[in-house]
Structure 1
Amino acid sequence: MPKSKTTQSLLNSTDSKFRNLIKFCYLLMAFVLISCGNETKSKAQVDSNENETTESETTEKTSGRTILFFGDSITAGYGLDDTNDAFPGIIQGKIDSLGLNYEVVNSGVSGETSAGGRSRIEWILNQNIDIFVLELGANDGLRGVAITETKANLQAIIDTVKSKSPNTKIVLAGMQMPPNMGQEYTTQFKDIFTELASENNIAFIPFILEDVGGVKELNQQDGIHPTAEGHKIVAENVWKVLERLIDEKKG
């Protein structure tokens, strides 16, 4: 039965709309694919840029060297308004002013004893350290810890550094006790550091508080912890030894 003109017209119109719809769908799909491609490309570029940035930052960080100060409240800067005024912070400022590529890490803990340092040394060494400055023992002396115990703990710390980080240069900071601790104890305590430095063939600061210990105006009210001015002198005492090691590392 022949289709009427009206029916044929409707069919033609419907067919045209259908073809247009198909075209629209194809165009939409093409647009989505192009967009996804651009997004993937953009994301890949971002990831690439991020990787380049991360690699650059990592290279920059690892290209420098580290000096770690492992000590007690003197290293930590106890009682100071700004811990950057403690001698490690002062040394960082000196290093920066000389254009040296070293970062100072202050690992001082107030109240730390040689036993406490011995218990945390393994964890501290989970980083690259070029120069390790050991400043512990004062709290042992103030508490009257046995000389043999203090020496054994400091030796264990030195042994751990040598074993786990053999390329690390070690500096031992000497400490002295006030005479009221008794002459025998005072002498034996002082000798701990001299003996350890000699026996282990490591760099030695004979007395880190030289020209500061016992000087009232350079210490806080407790008479033990240096003031900001006192720390400047302590920094000079440390720098005299540290500078030589830095020059060796540069060579």
Structure 2
Amino acid sequence: MLRAASFICLLLLLCALSVQAEQDTSPGPILVIGDSLSADYGFDRAQGWVNLLEARLDERGESRGVVNAAISGDTTRSGRARIAAALERHEPSLVIIQLGGNDGLRGLPVEETAANLRQMIAASQAAGARVLLVGVRMPPNYGRRFTEAFADMYRTVAADTGVVLVPRILEGVAERENLMQADGIHPTAEAQPLILDNLWPAIEGLLETN
């Protein structure tokens, strides 16, 4: 009787250890740190590209959880201030940094934006996560010199830190009035699948290497 009880206890212990080992090796979630372009501004959150990303992963049998930590109006400065807590809380395997647009719209120095992005990338890499950097273009009325410097900033940061870059989140979207809200800045709900398609090749590539 004692031997049977000991055997059952041993089996239970092995099962518990097996479950724990599986949990320890499973990939962490995807963490999105962004602004209104990722925070579903002007429409229901279920329609946003972040939620569509999670649904696509579920359909492919690659469920890992997607944490939408985007905040409308966020800048790289505030993103830098909150990323450490987000990394500690969620332990992501992939961090998507979609910030900088509000910096540009407010005319903040490009050098400051670049420095903040570098710090966010460094913190994510130190936490063991891969990073996807997502850029945005400034409207042409900001002047050619500034808009070109802003676009170059993303490319330089990505090259220097070794992260994957999607240069323009609204590629093929911002040019179409029917896909933009009345303010001319924010995409509509109908544009969200196109935004996900813009990001998907980079995301898929990074997930395959995790």
CA contact (8 A) 1:205 1:241 kept: yes
The CA RMSD measured in Å over matched residues stands at 2.1
Equivalence for 1:70:
33
| Mapping 1:173-184, distance limit 5 Å | 173-184=134-145
Equivalence for 1:49:
none
Equivalence for 1:132:
95
| Greater relative contact order, per chain length (Cα 8 Å cut-off, separation 6+) | 2
CA contact (8 A) 1:68 1:104 kept: yes
Q: Distance in 2 between matches of 1:75 and 1:93?
A: 15
- Residue 56 of structure 1 deviates from its aligned partner by 6.9
Task: Report the CA distance shift for 1:215/1:199 in structure 2 as closer, same or farther (over 3 A).
Answer: same
CA contact (8 A) 2:54 2:63 kept: no
- Residue 63 of structure 1 deviates from its aligned partner by 3.7
Q: Any unmatched runs of 5+ in structure 2?
A: 1-14
- Which amino acid in 2 is paired with 1:222? D
Equivalence for 1:91:
53
TM-score, scaled relative to structure 2:
0.86
**CA shift digits 1:69-112 (9 cap, x unpaired):** 110011111111x2121111011111011011321110100000
Equivalence for 1:228:
189
- Residue 132 of structure 1 deviates from its aligned partner by 0.4
CA contact (8 A) 1:65 1:101 kept: no
TM-score, scaled relative to structure 1:
0.72
**CA shift digits 1:198-235 (9 cap, x unpaired):** 11111111211110113210011111111111111111
CA contact (8 A) 1:64 1:103 kept: no
CA contact (8 A) 2:80 2:119 kept: yes
Q: Distance in 1 between matches of 2:111 and 2:120?
A: 14
The structure 1 segments of at least 4 consecutive aligned residues displaced by more than 2 Å after TM superposition are 59-65
Equivalence for 2:200:
239
Equivalence for 1:115:
77
Q: Any unmatched runs of 5+ in structure 1?
A: 1-51
Q: Distance in 1 between matches of 2:96 and 2:173?
A: 19
Q: Distance in 1 between matches of 2:176 and 2:133?
A: 23
Count of paired positions? 194
CA contact (8 A) 1:214 1:223 kept: no
Equivalence for 2:150:
189
- Which amino acid in 2 is paired with 1:125? L
- Which amino acid in 1 is paired with 2:133? L
CA contact (8 A) 1:138 1:177 kept: yes
Match of 2:180 among 194, 215, 219: 219
CA contact (8 A) 2:28 2:92 kept: yes
Q: Which has the larger radius of gyration?
A: 1
Q: Give the helix-richer structure, 1 or 2.
A: 1
SS at match of 2:209: helix
- Residue 152 of structure 1 deviates from its aligned partner by 1.0
